[in-house]
């Protein structure tokens, strides 16, 4: 056998012990470059947790590189002397390298630390606080600390530097946005979150009386809660309610932030007694405002005093259906059980 260094050889002749000479004229290419692997500094990419490790290989192509990460060994095949390895986040090491001559070299002290973390962010929103008129949001973010957070609240810009998350922001009515986040490796996320916080309000101008109906201009709700003297009077699906008694009325609604808002109180005075329409056709409405303990009877008679109709009235709205009777003038008399109350006779014109 011959021990030859790497290089190109040309075998010219061979001579035996009898001095016989044979011309060979053959060439040999000996490739015995020692197997080795060296690497440079990792390169990080903002859109991935993997790092790129430039490597330089020696030996005969191709190479099988054993990588270990979290106790799991992976074989990576490379064909070029100048190449790179993708290193996962955390701690990895190069175990060995084998070239095309099946020469294997164990690699020592090849600990690779990829501490890079892909920049990410999420925002979780809470309920609107009806007492403070604020809405809380929690910003969850991960990346290469510290993280710089840029945003604006209304026309006011803000910046924060954080190493721990989540971070909470309290949003007041108006515009709010987290515009971007930049980490220590200058990776950037943009347009993280934006919101328009609305604080609906209602006031007494949104409640008005139209004859025997209360109305509101609020149309941004599906349910209307009407109160009379601080007690729930009626609940309606439309922005109006019929009224049949005097008192202090107000309206409550749930706004877009699910806060229950009420108007100021509106005083409605229908008087002690009110009747309509007059002239009447086939029915007569009588609105009554009783005193405590009061009861009232009614009597309808013609001008000769002949009784046509009678009955009891209740506190509030009463509907009296008129029987078939000639057109003309009739007298409605109300009788109360209270000595200090007197109702004058009412002239009713029948159409």
What's residue 205's pLDDT? 64
Beta bridge mates, 311: 298
Residue 174 · residue 197 · CB < 8 Å: yes
Q: In the block, which residue shows the tokens 């990588």?
A: 67
The phi, psi pair for 243, rounded to 5°, reads: -120, 145
User: Rounded distance, CA 202 to CA 252, Å?
Assistant: 9
pLDDT class of 5 with cuts at 50, 70, 90: confident
pLDDT at 190 over 60: yes
User: Rounded distance, CA 68 to CA 88, Å?
Assistant: 10
pLDDT digits (tens, 9 = 90+) for 288-328: 989 999 999 999 999 999 999 999 999 988 999 999 999 99
Q: Cβ contacts of residue 148 below 8 Å, gap of 6+?
A: 159, 160, 161, 181, 182, 183
User: Rounded distance, CA 102 to CA 111, Å?
Assistant: 24
pLDDT digits (tens, 9 = 90+) for 265-284: 999 988 888 888 899 999 99
Beta bridge mates, 156: 153
pLDDT digits (tens, 9 = 90+) for 244-271: 788 999 999 998 888 999 999 999 988 8
pTM attached to this predicted model: 0.64
Mean pLDDT of the region 173-202: 93
pLDDT class of 7 with cuts at 50, 70, 90: confident
Rg of the chain over CA atoms, in angstroms?
Answer: 47
How big is the chain, counted in residues?
A: 351
- Pick the range with the lowest mean pLDDT from 3-17, 175-189, 198-212: 198-212
* H and E: helices and strands count for the chain: 0, 33
pLDDT at 32 over 80: no
Other CB atoms within 10 Å distance of the CB of residue 52: 15
- Residue 216: name the closest of 233, 238, 231 by CA: 238
Q: In the block, which residue shows the tokens 């809380």?
A: 136
pLDDT digits (tens, 9 = 90+) for 110-125: 999 999 999 999 999 9
pLDDT digits (tens, 9 = 90+) for 46-95: 999 999 999 999 998 999 999 999 999 999 999 999 999 999 999 999 99
């Amino acid at each position: 056998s011959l021990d030859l260094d790497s290089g190109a050889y040309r075998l010219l002749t061979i001579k035996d012990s009898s001095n016989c000479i044979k011309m060979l004229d053959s060439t040999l290419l000996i490739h015995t470059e020692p197997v080795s692997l060296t690497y440079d500094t990792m390169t990080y990419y903002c859109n991935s947790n993997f790092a790129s490790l430039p490597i330089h290989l020696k030996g005969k192509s191709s190479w099988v590189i054993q990588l270990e990460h979290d106790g799991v060994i992976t074989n990576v095949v490379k064909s070029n002397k100048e190449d790179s390895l993708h290193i996962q986040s955390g701690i990895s090491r190069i175990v060995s390298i084998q070239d095309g001559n099946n020469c294997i070299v164990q690699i020592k002290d090849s600990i690779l630390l990829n501490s890079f973390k892909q920049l990410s962010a999420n925002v979780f929103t809470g309920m609107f606080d009806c007492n403070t008129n604020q809405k809380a949001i929690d910003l969850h973010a991960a990346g290469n600390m510290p993280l710089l957070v840029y945003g604006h609240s209304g026309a006011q810009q803000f910046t924060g530097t954080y190493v721990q998350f989540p971070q909470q922001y309290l949003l007041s009515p108006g515009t709010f946005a987290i515009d971007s986040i930049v980490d220590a490796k200058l990776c950037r996320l943009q347009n993280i979150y934006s919101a328009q916080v609305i604080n609906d309000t209602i006031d007494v101008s949104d409640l008005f009386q139209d004859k025997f109906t209360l109305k509101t201009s609020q149309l941004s709700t599906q349910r209307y809660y009407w109160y009379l003297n601080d007690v729930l009077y009626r609940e309606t699906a439309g922005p109006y309610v019929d009224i049949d008694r005097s008192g202090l009325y107000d309206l409550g609604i749930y706004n877009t932030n699910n806060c229950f808002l009420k108007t100021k109180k509106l005083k409605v005075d229908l008087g002690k007694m009110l009747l309509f329409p007059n002239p009447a056709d086939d029915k007569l409405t009588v609105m009554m405002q009783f005193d405590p303990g009061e009861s009232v009877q009614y009597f309808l008679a013609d001008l000769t005093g002949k009784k046509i109709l009678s009955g009891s009235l209740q506190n509030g709205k009463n509907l009296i259906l008129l029987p078939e009777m000639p057109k003309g003038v009739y007298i409605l008399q109300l009788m109360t059980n209270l000595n200090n109350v007197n109702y004058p006779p009412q002239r009713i014109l029948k159409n």
